[in-house]
Structure 1
Amino acid sequence: MSIPPDYQTLKTSKWFAYCNVHFLITFDDGVKWLLRVRQNRSHRLPTALTTPVIKSEVATLMLLKSKGVPVPAAYLPPHLREKNDAQNMTDLDYFFYEYISGIPLHLPFKGYFSEIDLPEDQLEGFIEEYCKIKIQLSNLHLPYSKLGCIYPSGEGITEVGPIVSLGCFMNPTSPHFMGPFTTYKEMMLAKIDAALRYVKVNALQGGYTVDEYLWHLEMRELVAASKVLIAIPTELFIKHNDSKGDEMMVNEDGKIIGIIDWEWAYVTTKSDAFSTPHFFNRTFAYMKGSNSLSHAEDLLIECYKRHGRDDLAECVKEGKLYLRMERIGYYDPAFTKSGFREVFGEDVPKDFNPPDDDAGWRKYMLKRYEHDQTLKEVIDKYGTKQELAL
């Protein structure tokens, strides 16, 4: 096993990532694996949190691998396998998976806010590659009936269980993880309720606490009123859920030869699974409330249609609803609030019409939710005179 001489060398190497660090293992026959180790930032997380995440990622990878998707095969360590009495003799949370050649895809942007900054021919080439991978994922026939993460359930068998997720979608006490869910609406309401519980004790963003609570109350009302999100799906799909572009491994010709980092992947509806990720919409206009399609999304729609997949093209056209939902638990006052409301279309309650400016919005929401007991507690504990001046 290749071990760097010191931490700084490891940190600046290609094996170091935000949540995980990797060590290359080369066997005598030349076969290469990676040891994937969860980083401990200041302290090791309880195994009640890390073990489900590891088991879910390994089960997801093995399912995808068995269906021909270009992902590495993955293997649980002995102490996490069923019917095994082995003990974890380390202070590490880890598993093994195959080494995939290639390099992580680098998508250039002009500053923090911009669309993908590639020459048109290269952008079209990337979209074609991305489209083919998504079509492959769309053709998988999954044996599940609920939304959640995939877990091992016996020799070669998997099942859907609770959602493991980065962020607030968990409980601080056992059982930590929620789900599985019957509908996307049920899942989002559970996530919003979790966010509200954390905001109540100022445990999320740590600022603008009253506005943060009000915004999540607004999102809860909008999700609860949605007729689109209540549909019980007849088929389900796997969503990567940490797609930044660099999860795609490419060769020297820019062809996608593998997809890694399935740590928080989950089974969900077609509309959610094939909506476009944030890197398609890293624009100032999106932050300021626009739900227009980006140029890359227009190209992706055209590409899906060329491949006879109008259904996936429609997922891109209507996908801003699901992209906006990814901000649950990540309130940011820089985002224009009307953009989150607009994606609900005609399902927005008829009497719901707050002003566009933040001060007017806050006044409107304080009145609308004045009977919410927890809001009163949040105001008493965290409200400022500026926020509450009516």
Structure 2
Amino acid sequence: MTASLERFFTCDLEDCELPSVRGFGPCERCNLHHCLSHSNPPSHTCDNKPLPDDAFEANVHTEVKNLRAKINDEAVCQRASELNGNVKCEIEHPPPWGRGALMGWANYHARIRFESGAVWLMRVPRTNGSLPQSLIDYLVRSEYATLKFLESTQVPAPRVYDYAISEEPDNKIGVSYILMEEMPGRPWNQQGSPGKETADKEDKEKIWSGLADILIELERYPFPKGGSLLPGSSGSCLEPVVGALASERFLVLSPAGPYDTAKEYYASFMEQNMVLIADGQLFTSFPVNAYLIFLYLKSQISTLTATTTLDDEPAEASEKFYIKHVDDKGDHIMVDDDLNIVGIIDWQMARVVPANEAFGPSLVTAEMSDIYDGISSLTEQDQALARLLREKGAGHLADIMSKDEKLRRFFFGLDVEFPWEETLLLIRGIWTAFGLGKDTEWKTWKIEMLERYAEDERLKGMIEKFGVGP
């Protein structure tokens, strides 16, 4: 399997037609995209340090001002009123920054308040130059289809009422958007029950119990392929189709798929990363090192697909895929004051995945300090969730949850913004998860990999183009 070569943007330097580097967006200072060759002096002379807080905030204010200028508030209210029995409403734009802001790293939100007391959200993708419009619009379609399908389940997700793409001729609102219910509660950021600032073991047990119920519910809805949901051919989302995989949590990959098998699904992630690395679009500070890690992960796919079914049928006869929330760090869970789960939000990058990924250890039960420190093991939270699944009669899901954290490491991979020293810690975590010693000597391992894959044409071209690296 060879991924096709695509680009998010082209380098903005005059007469350069090379693809820009992915994962960073345009320069925060000059707002230009740069390819690998023109990312540094003398071509690009902007300071590469993070913007000062006041400058960063000013950029956000400018971005929101430009985005709001595109939104036709009157058309928003007219459309929302039509969809809600002609009840009158008004749109409320929150501040771009600080207390009361409703903007995440990927979406801007405005409230729609109806005279009846109902409150909706208008969810508008940010257009700050980090993602191409085609991917932004694909994510909108997929999130809408996912949420619409979830309405037919017992998963507590926001109800959705409408969506549109900015370039559609009948879109009078002016931007790509989704109209959805505003969920009650507040995001769970490890806060405890009343009187406790931080969640203790008992508090977390309540969260894991609610999460176990949701996983058990999602298992009731298998799909025949892996990918991301899209509206059906008739526009129906109650019977969505599994289309190309939208992206991943770092949003550096292009849509690809769908896939008939877990092996194809996992291989596609690795292949697309390797193609982009070889082309100078990803991990540009240490491309050869990153390429070798993805080669290694690709070689381990057989260990990920050893048990991908939830029954006794042969794997090739019964592979099934299940909806998974990809950015499940904890703040996607909405809770009330007593830590009852009242909603799961932010389904933008949701995908339909093999059972081992859908029901295995994820970010919400991870010890993130261990992830970044290169420590790999099942956590106390993984084990607690597995125990609760078993107590609720889902022993087969508990077996997946308590097996290992290979897939958590496989998909967390390497952070595109990390320097080499910190990336090496992530690599050590990957090694440990897949059975290598955490303290394996990097240079020794690298030499062995270079020898093993000496005939890899892409690797040979990269060494000639970029050098061997650290």
Normalised by the length of structure 2, the TM-score is: 0.69
Please name the residue that 1:219 is paired with: 297
Q: Is the 8 A contact 2:163 2:176 kept in 1?
A: no
RMSD, matched Cα: 3.0
The one of 370, 384, 390 aligned to 2:454? 370
Please name the residue that 1:113 is paired with: none
Matched position secondary structure for 2:444: helix
Q: Is the 8 A contact 1:355 1:364 kept in 2?
A: no
The one of 224, 240, 250 aligned to 1:145? 224
Q: Is the 8 A contact 1:183 1:229 kept in 2?
A: no
User: Quick one: which amino acid aligns to residue 238 of structure 1?
Assistant: I
Q: Percent identity?
A: 25
Task: String of CA shifts for 1:253-276, please: whole Å, max 9, x gaps.
Answer: 110011111111111222110112
Distance in 2, Cα, partners of 1:190 & 1:34? 35
User: Quick one: which amino acid aligns to residue 143 of structure 2?
Assistant: E
Shift of residue 339 of structure 1?
A: 4.5
Task: String of CA shifts for 1:167-223, please: whole Å, max 9, x gaps.
Answer: 46644xxxxx21110112111111111101111133223222211111111122222
For CA contacts below 8 A with separation 6 or more, give which structure has more relative contact order.
1
Distance in 2, Cα, partners of 1:329 & 1:289? 11
Matched position secondary structure for 2:465: helix
Do residues 134 (structure 1) and 215 (structure 2) align? Answer: yes
Q: Is the 8 A contact 1:169 1:194 kept in 2?
A: no
Matched position secondary structure for 2:424: coil
Range moving further from structure 2, 71-80 or 361-370: 71-80
Shift of residue 89 of structure 1?
A: 4.0
Please name the residue that 2:283 is paired with: 205
Please name the residue that 1:25 is paired with: 112
Task: String of CA shifts for 1:301-327, please: whole Å, max 9, x gaps.
Answer: 221121121111111112412112113
The one of 335, 352, 375 aligned to 1:267? 352
Please name the residue that 1:182 is paired with: 260
Please name the residue that 1:114 is paired with: none
Which consecutive unaligned segments of at least 5 residues does structure 1 have? 110-116, 172-176
Normalised by the length of structure 1, the TM-score is: 0.82
The one of 186, 198, 223 aligned to 1:103? 186
Q: Is the 8 A contact 2:120 2:180 kept in 1?
A: yes
Taking the TM superposition and a 5 Å limit, the aligned residue runs for 1:1-390 are: 1-4=90-93, 7-8=96-97, 12-42=99-129, 45-46=132-133, 48-77=134-163, 86-89=169-172, 91-107=174-190, 118-138=199-219, 140-142=220-222, 144-153=223-232, 154=234, 155=236, 156-166=238-248, 167=250, 170-171=253-254, 177-223=255-301, 228=306, 231-232=315-316, 233-287=318-372, 289-328=374-413, 330=415, 333-335=423-425, 337=427, 339-341=429-431, 343=433, 356-383=440-467, 387=470
Matched position secondary structure for 2:348: coil
Shift of residue 375 of structure 1?
A: 0.9
Distance in 2, Cα, partners of 1:129 & 1:363? 47
Q: Is the 8 A contact 1:24 1:32 kept in 2?
A: yes
When residues 100 and 226 of structure 1 are mapped into structure 2, their CA distance, relative to the original with a 3 A threshold, is closer
When residues 357 and 5 of structure 1 are mapped into structure 2, their CA distance, relative to the original with a 3 A threshold, is closer
Matched position secondary structure for 1:24: strand
Q: Is the 8 A contact 1:304 1:313 kept in 2?
A: yes
When residues 318 and 169 of structure 1 are mapped into structure 2, their CA distance, relative to the original with a 3 A threshold, is farther
When residues 321 and 312 of structure 1 are mapped into structure 2, their CA distance, relative to the original with a 3 A threshold, is same
Distance in 2, Cα, partners of 1:221 & 1:341? 13
Which consecutive unaligned segments of at least 5 residues does structure 2 have? 1-89, 193-197, 309-314, 417-421
Matched position secondary structure for 1:147: coil
When residues 54 and 42 of structure 1 are mapped into structure 2, their CA distance, relative to the original with a 3 A threshold, is closer
Please name the residue that 1:112 is paired with: none
Distance in 2, Cα, partners of 1:218 & 1:321? 13
When residues 304 and 6 of structure 1 are mapped into structure 2, their CA distance, relative to the original with a 3 A threshold, is closer
Aligned residues: 361
Shift of residue 359 of structure 1?
A: 0.9
Shift of residue 133 of structure 1?
A: 2.1
Q: Is the 8 A contact 1:70 1:258 kept in 2?
A: yes
Shift of residue 125 of structure 1?
A: 2.1
Shift of residue 90 of structure 1?
A: 5.0
When residues 78 and 21 of structure 1 are mapped into structure 2, their CA distance, relative to the original with a 3 A threshold, is closer
User: Quick one: which amino acid aligns to residue 147 of structure 2?
Assistant: L
User: Quick one: which amino acid aligns to residue 382 of structure 2?
Assistant: E
Distance in 1, Cα, partners of 2:286 & 2:130? 28
